[in-house]
Chain A
Amino acid sequence: MAFVDSEVSGGTQADQDALSVKIVVAGGFGVGKTTFVGAVSEIEPLRTEALMTEASTSVDDLSMLPEKRTTTVAMDFGRITLADDLVLYLFGTPGQNRFWFMWDDITRGAIGAVVLVDTRRLADCFGAIDYVEQRGIPFVVALNAFNGVQEHDVEDVRDALQVGPEVPFVVTDARERESVKVVLVTLVEHAMSLIQQP
């Protein structure tokens, strides 16, 4: 978090082009996505906006929006420089799940997704899980511990979400850097296992 928002600080300095990869942090409204990103990011989470009109074809309910031309969709993201030539970005999905066009941009080429779940509002993550399952995006389910979730609740939640046994479930505290690291490592290892045993 030592980032200064000046125009020349940060980034990598390698002569060769660095490689950038990304992980998606998905989940329902207010589930802790930005908190999760901020816990490990070397910069304060930044916010990027896309204009609704940029992808009108894939938006399902434009008609519900009175002023579609001024609608923007925001996503928060963070950065972790893993090596001189390797940068990891964490992109949080927009809080309102219906902006699926933004998800296509965020997930294209991603290592995988962390689906954050608030066990008091399980249904809020259904959209995210459907999305990543349908597209074959590797994902892990992270239950936010601030709701008093215990390890022994995990299998109940797995049943409720109807997610297969191959998908890792972890209990996390989105505010804790070490806890967030564990979730990310679990996701990367899961993505690796899917390559090794297609």
Chain B
Amino acid sequence: MAAPDGRRVRPYLATRGRTRPVQDIAIEALVSTTKDGRTHGADPEPERERILRLCHSPRSVAEVAAIVSMPLGVARVLVADLETEGLVRVADPHAAFAGSAEPARNLSVLERVRDGLRRL
């Protein structure tokens, strides 16, 4: 199947068993390679391999898309599949605050952001 930009979109689009809809992953959600992902060996798919190496330091989904040069939607699909396979962790700021105020509406988070900005 060919993506509009000519890039091949793999069967990932049909992958089952994801923990959540791909579009729900926040663009700022931090992706980090798990221990399994580090010891996974070179992935045959170059883009997956790049993501696994890139996210040894946590990176947002948006950064993954920009640095690996793929559209946001494709990055989300690849990240979601790597997560399902246990090779990356996705720290979604909204999911982390499930049940309480989301971080952007949490006073102590906002205080830390303000203080951090002042210290820059």
Which residues of chain B (28-53) have a CB below 8 Å from chain A? 28-30, 32, 50, 53
Contact indicator B112/A82 (Cβ below 8 Å): yes
Contact indicator A21/B93 (Cβ below 8 Å): yes
Total number of residue pairs linking A and B with CB closer than 8 Å: 153
Contact indicator A20/B57 (Cβ below 8 Å): no
Residue A176 at the chain B interface, CB threshold 8 Å: no
Contact indicator B73/A188 (Cβ below 8 Å): no
User: A147 CA to B23 CA in the complex, in Å?
Assistant: 39
Which residues of chain B (74-118) have a CB below 8 Å from chain A? 89, 91, 93-94, 96, 102-105, 107, 109-114, 116-118
Identity of the chain A residue whose Cβ is nearest the Cβ of B56 in the assembled complex? A8
Identity of the chain A residue whose Cβ is nearest the Cβ of B90 in the assembled complex? A17
User: A88 CA to B113 CA in the complex, in Å?
Assistant: 8
Residue A62 at the chain B interface, CB threshold 8 Å: no
Contacts from B to A (Cβ < 8 Å) = 3-5, 26-30, 32, 50, 53-54, 56-60, 62-63, 65-67, 71-73, 89, 91, 93-94, 96, 102-105, 107, 109-114, 116-120
Residue A69 at the chain B interface, CB threshold 8 Å: yes
* Cβ–Cβ < 8 Å partners of B114 in chain A: 185, 188-189, 192
Residue A37 at the chain B interface, CB threshold 8 Å: no
* Cβ–Cβ < 8 Å partners of B118 in chain A: 181, 185
Contact indicator B91/A18 (Cβ below 8 Å): yes
Shortest A99–chain B CB gap in Å is 12
Chain A: residues with Cβ within 8 Å of the partner, total of 53
Choice from A19, A53, A80, A89 contacting B109 with Cβ under 8 Å = A19
Choice from A21, A51, A196 contacting B28 with Cβ under 8 Å = A21
User: A72 CA to B4 CA in the complex, in Å?
Assistant: 10
User: A4 CA to B19 CA in the complex, in Å?
Assistant: 33
Known: A20-B28, A72-B5, A91-B62. 17 other contacts (CB 8 A): A10-B59, A11-B57, A17-B96, A48-B72, A49-B65, A50-B71, A51-B4, A69-B4, A70-B4, A72-B71, A83-B116, A86-B113, A88-B117, A106-B27, A108-B94, A109-B28, A109-B103
* Cβ–Cβ < 8 Å partners of B66 in chain A: 46-48, 77
Choice from B54, B65, B103 contacting A21 with Cβ under 8 Å = B103
User: A19 CA to B120 CA in the complex, in Å?
Assistant: 18
Whether A40 contacts B120 in the complex (CB less than 8 A), given A46-B67, A109-B104, comes out as yes
Shortest A84–chain B CB gap in Å is 11
